[in-house]
């Protein structure tokens, strides 16, 4: 695949879901100091996905603890009633799933209207065509390489082809749209994601589950 020959900077977004929830402020400071580029915050409602995590109140409480962008991944339905709350809480990017509501284009317009970057998240079974007609409103496309809801799952390799297809679509737009992968990203699976064209890697267990966050981030980045 042609994208494999283009080298672009790879950003690492540790997922707070795998952090110690009793020490979250400290965890955020530690992962930023360890070289994290973004902080990935997984919002789960126990309805769209079979797990509950945290809401905008926690995002707001953590915001003063780091300067890196807060990348909020909404796994909630409906999402529209909560977009303003996450924007006000300090999210820099807000991503949502097309299945979360009937009007994806409007949801992305709302996020942009709140002054935030907007992203679309594709579940393993969701085709690339779900984002094709709204790419002009996207700052980020996220490919789920596990079924959303839990950390620590195994990487679904069939998603690599989707990453490559999206890289080609993004290149064709000529716009700077981040291509993110989330789920089962480890030092072993990251190189395949990067070769397929991903440039932002979410890693929960592979960072917060390791004793040395800086070494873990370097390992996922492929420079460790």
Q: Does 97 bind Zn ion (CB under 5 A)?
A: no
How far is residue 64 CA from its own chain's centroid?
20
Active site residue 42: yes
Nearer to ligand DX5, 153 or 171 (CB): 153
Nearer to Zn ion, 75 or 177 (CB): 75
Residue with smallest beta-carbon separation from Zn ion = 73
Please give the radius of gyration of the chain, using alpha carbons only, rounded to the nearest integer: 16
Residue 202 Cβ vs Zn ion, minimum distance, rounded to whole Å: 5
How far from each other are the two terminal CA atoms of the chain, in whole angstroms?
A: 25
Residue 212 Cβ vs Zn ion, minimum distance, rounded to whole Å: 23
Rounded Cα distance between 109 and 102, Å, is 14
DSSP H/E element including 142: strand 140-144
Residue 40 Cβ vs Zn ion, minimum distance, rounded to whole Å: 6
Q: Does 184 bind ligand DX5 (CB under 6 A)?
A: yes
Instruction: Spell 91-104 as b/e; 16+ CB within 10 A means b.
Output: bbbbbbbbebbeeb
Q: Does 37 bind Zn ion (CB under 5 A)?
A: no
Q: Nearest to residue 215, comparing CAs of 31, 5, 18, 49?
A: 31
Q: Residues 46-75 vs ligand DX5: string with x where CB under 6 A?
A: ---------------------------x--
Q: Does 27 bind Zn ion (CB under 5 A)?
A: no
Of 37, 42, 45, 192, which residue is the catalytic one? 42
Nearer to Zn ion, 6 or 21 (CB): 21
How many CA atoms does the CB half-sphere of 24 hold within 13 Å? Answer: 18
């Amino acid at each position: 695949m042609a994208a494999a020959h283009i080298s672009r900077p790879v950003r690492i977004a540790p997922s707070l879901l795998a952090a110690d929830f009793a020490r979250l402020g400290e965890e955020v400071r530690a992962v930023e100091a360890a070289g994290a580029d973004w902080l990935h915050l997984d919002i789960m409602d126990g309805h769209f996905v079979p797990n509950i995590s945290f809401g905008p109140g926690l995002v707001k409480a953590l915001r003063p603890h780091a300067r890196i962008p807060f990348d909020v991944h909404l796994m909630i339905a409906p999402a529209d009633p909560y977009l303003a709350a996450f924007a006000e809480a300090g999210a820099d990017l807000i991503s949502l799933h097309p299945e979360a509501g009937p009007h994806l284009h409007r949801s992305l317009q709302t996020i942009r209207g709140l002054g935030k970057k907007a992203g679309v998240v594709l579940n393993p079974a969701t085709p690339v065509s779900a984002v094709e007609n709204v790419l002009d409103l996207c700052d980020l496309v996220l490919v789920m390489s596990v079924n959303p809801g839990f950390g620590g799952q195994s990487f679904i390799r069939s998603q690599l082809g989707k990453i490559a297809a999206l890289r080609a679509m993004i290149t064709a737009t000529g716009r700077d749209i981040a291509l993110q992968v989330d789920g089962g990203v480890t030092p072993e699976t990251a190189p395949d994601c990067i070769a397929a064209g991903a440039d932002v890697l979410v890693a929960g267990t592979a960072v917060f589950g390791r004793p040395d966050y800086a070494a873990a981030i370097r390992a996922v980045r492929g420079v460790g």
